[in-house]
Amino acid sequence: MLANAAVFEEPTPPLAGITEAIDLLETTYQSGLSGDHAAKKLARQQRQSVNVLMVELKSYVQITAGDDAHQATLSGIDLPQAS
């Protein structure tokens, strides 16, 4: 796995940004559990943003790994199977 760290060393979007977005979503989601309707609406928007970030990260892995399916798999991201 250490070899992959060099291959995927500067992901786009940065992992710190993804982590921050997920943490914020979790906090907002917890507020929504208490019945805060504004928090529920905000959580839906934040979830969409997190989904966009994850799609971008998945694309980054696919592009960076190129034709090396093994390298892409070692990233830990589920990628579509070639048909």
Q: Report, as an integer, the average pLDDT of 62-71.
A: 86
> pTM of this prediction?
0.82
> 28, 39 in Cβ contact below 8 A?
yes
Residues 9-55 pLDDT 10s = 889 999 999 999 999 999 999 999 999 999 999 999 999 999 999 99
C-alpha distance from residue 71 to each of 5, 25, 64, 66, 78 (Å): 11, 30, 9, 9, 12
Q: What does the domain layout of the chain look like in residue ranges? A: 35-75
